[in-house]
């Protein structure tokens, strides 16, 4: 080498002090979660930039197809076993009058709330429990997580009630039904990939639509249904201010607007890797989930309306009993679809609600919390998810439990827990430090405050009717 003595030998070595990264290995500080999420984002960006010769509509739909998921899952997951049994009990006791438009109203409330979680997740890239922990302190963060996990566990019990009761129509023993449901939940979880888990769960969730053909086989009076939307009448038999009516009103609200939905959708948006530019697609995703769930929920009510029309007392019916009672009116096929729908509702909700608990646990305790992580990297996340499912399924096997009553009461508890959860949501989504230009507008605040007022009034009304039944009886 020019300018150096001939006896000095220079070896070709890397200038950097770090060792060379072996080919195919993951650089230090980069996780499987980062790589999987980056691959998902790459697919979305390629779809957006595609300039192929295909139809313009199809090219525009491809990015949306890749971005949808959390909104569809949160609403079809909320069309869970207790929700569908609440709709079924409502249709059997009161027919299609008051409650058909009321259910649609509850889903509008649900959309108002869930759209805010889309913005929070896309802008902050943090889950709901983690944001509460960071903005309001460890006490409120752990309080929110504990409240959610307890509420979710009670709801999980009802999901396995749905799995057990739905399959009992086919003569499947409870142990086999619950055990098979657990295996399906665990099998989807252990894909170690958010995208795969999301698409598999969405595939199961679409079977919530089985209630639609069941409703059509009930030969509903379409003129009467249209009349209920135009006039919103008649009121339930006996008036609104009766314990049984208020229980179903609270249960139907709890079938649509519950705390776990806030935590799940925001965490799923983060795990999916949505960005602020994806908020419009997130809204479309949420609206699609809202419309699908509303149609399927109303279908469950319409399917059981023949029991009301023929004066059949279905007050203490469980899922299999609903299907058996409906068979003379909607046929064996319709009853089978109804029972399978209840099973599907419990299965999908078990997948989403257990994941919601695991997300909150990981976020607050600063543990890895992503479905893109393998088990050995995020074992506390998967451990909470699996343990909650196993414990809930085991409780359902207790004989002679009042299953339908438990279902209705759990939905009522969800309504009572919702106003405090919404308070955190409103404060976060109006915080300019974390939301920037994506804070709530005035109309959004008016809408969400209206939802809170409705929930509080419903809770107060139910409490007064329950505590002072004689006072209400005199009205």
Cα-based distances in Å from 12 to 9, 15, 154 = 10, 9, 65
Q: Enter the tokens of residue 309.
A: 């029309």
| Cβ proximity of 355 and 370 under 8 Å | no
Rounded to the nearest 10°, the torsion over CA 11, 13, 16, 17 is -80
Count Cα neighbours of 431 within 13 Å in the Cβ-side half-sphere.
18
Give the distance from CA 336 to its chain's centroid: 25
Q: How many angstroms separate the CA atoms of 137 and 366, rounded?
A: 14
What is the structure's pLDDT at 6? 46
Cα dihedral 14, 16, 22, 28, rounded to 10, equals 180
What distance separates the 2 farthest-apart alpha carbons in the chain? 112
Q: Provide the pLDDT for residue 241.
A: 58
Residue 176 tokens read as 């086999």
**What is the CB neighbour count within 10 angstroms for residue 303?**
34
Helices within 190-278 (DSSP H only): 194-205, 211-217, 222-231, 243-254, 259-272
Does 301 sit behind a cis peptide bond, omega within 30 degrees of 0 on the bond before it?
no
Q: Transcribe 68-90 into DSSP letters.
A: -SHHHHHHHHHS-HHHHHHHHHH
Q: Return the number of other C-beta atoms located less than 10 Å from residue 234's C-beta.
A: 12
Q: Judge contact between 318 and 165, C-beta under 8 A.
A: yes
* pLDDT lower than 50: segments of the chain: 1-18, 20-21, 53, 471-472, 474-475
- Supply 53's token pair: 């010769």
Residues in Cβ contact with 96 at an 8 Å cutoff, skipping those fewer than 6 apart: 220, 221, 224, 225, 228, 301, 302, 305
Among candidates 76, 80, 153, 81, which has minimal Cα distance to 318? 81
Confidence at residue 4, expressed as pLDDT on a 0 to 100 scale: 43
Q: What sign for the dihedral angle of Cα 437, 438, 439, 442? A: positive
How many CA atoms does the CB half-sphere of 160 hold within 13 Å? 30
Tokens 């019916």, residue?
A: 317
pLDDT at 394: 83
What pLDDT does residue 259 have? Answer: 85
State residue 13's pLDDT score: 42
According to DSSP H, which parts of 278-402 are helical? 279-309, 319-364, 379-396
CA-CA distance, 339 to 319, in Å (whole number)?
7
Per CATH, the number for 61-473 is 1.20.1740.10
Rounded to the nearest angstrom, the gap between the alpha carbon of residue 432 and the centroid of all alpha carbons in its chain is 27
**Which of 325, 396, 335, 399 shows the shortest CA–CA distance to 159?**
396
pTM here is 0.83
Separation of CA 10 from chain center: 64
User: CB atoms < 10 A from the CB of 376, how many?
Assistant: 8
Whole-number percent of the chain with pLDDT over 90: 19
Q: Where are the domains of the chain?
A: 61-473
Residue 4, token pair as written in the block: 């150096």
């Amino acid at each position: 080498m020019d300018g150096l003595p001939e006896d000095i030998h220079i070896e070709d070595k890397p200038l950097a002090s770090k060792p060379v990264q072996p080919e195919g290995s993951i650089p230090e500080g980069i996780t499987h979660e980062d790589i999987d999420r980056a691959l998902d984002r790459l697919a979305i960006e390629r779809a957006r930039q595609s300039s192929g010769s295909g139809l313009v509509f199809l090219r525009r739909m491809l990015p949306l197809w890749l971005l949808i998921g959390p909104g569809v899952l949160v609403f079809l997951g909320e069309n869970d076993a207790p929700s569908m049994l609440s709709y079924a009990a409502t249709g059997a006791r009161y027919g299609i009058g008051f409650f058909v438009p009321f259910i649609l109203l509850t889903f509008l409330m649900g959309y108002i709330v869930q759209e805010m979680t889309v913005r929070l997740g896309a802008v902050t890239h943090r889950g709901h429990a983690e944001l509460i922990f960071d903005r309001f302190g460890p006490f409120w963060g752990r309080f929110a997580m504990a409240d959610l996990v307890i509420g979710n566990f009670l709801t999980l019990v009802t999901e396995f009630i749905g799995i057990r009761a739905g399959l009992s129509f086919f003569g499947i023993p409870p142990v086999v039904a619950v055990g098979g449901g657990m295996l399906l939940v665990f099998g989807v979880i252990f894909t170690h990939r958010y995208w795969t888990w999301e698409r598999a769960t969405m595939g199961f969730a679409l079977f919530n639509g089985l209630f639609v053909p069941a409703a059509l086989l009930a030969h509903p009076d379409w003129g009467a249904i249209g009349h209920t939307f135009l006039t919103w009448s008649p009121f339930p038999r006996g008036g609104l201010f009766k314990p049984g009516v208020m229980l179903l009103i609270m249960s139907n609200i709890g079938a649509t607007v519950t705390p776990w939905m806030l935590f799940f959708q925001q965490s799923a948006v983060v795990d999916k890797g949505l960005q602020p530019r994806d908020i419009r697609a997130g809204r479309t995703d949420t609206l699609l989930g809202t419309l699908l769930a509303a149609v399927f929920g109303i279908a469950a009510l319409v399917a059981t309306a023949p029991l009301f029309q023929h004066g059949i007392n279905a007050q203490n019916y469980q899922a299999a009993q609903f299907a058996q009672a409906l068979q003379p009116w909607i046929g064996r096929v319709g009853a089978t679809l109804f029972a399978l729908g209840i099973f599907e509702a419990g299965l999908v909700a078990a997948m989403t609600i257990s994941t919601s608990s695991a997300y909150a646990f990981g976020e607050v305790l600063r543990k890895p919390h992503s479905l893109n992580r393998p088990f050995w990297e995020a074992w506390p996340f998967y451990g909470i998810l699996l343990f909650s499912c196993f414990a809930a399924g085991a409780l359902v096997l207790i004989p002679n439990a009042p299953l339908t009553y438990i279902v209705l009461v759990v939905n009522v508890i969800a309504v009572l827990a919702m106003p405090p959860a919404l308070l955190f949501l409103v404060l976060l989504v109006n915080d300019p430090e974390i939301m920037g230009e994506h804070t709530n507008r005035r109309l959004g605040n008016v809408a969400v405050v209206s939802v809170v007022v409705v929930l509080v009034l419903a809770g107060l009304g139910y409490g007064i009717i329950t505590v002072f039944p004689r006072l209400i009886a005199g009205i």
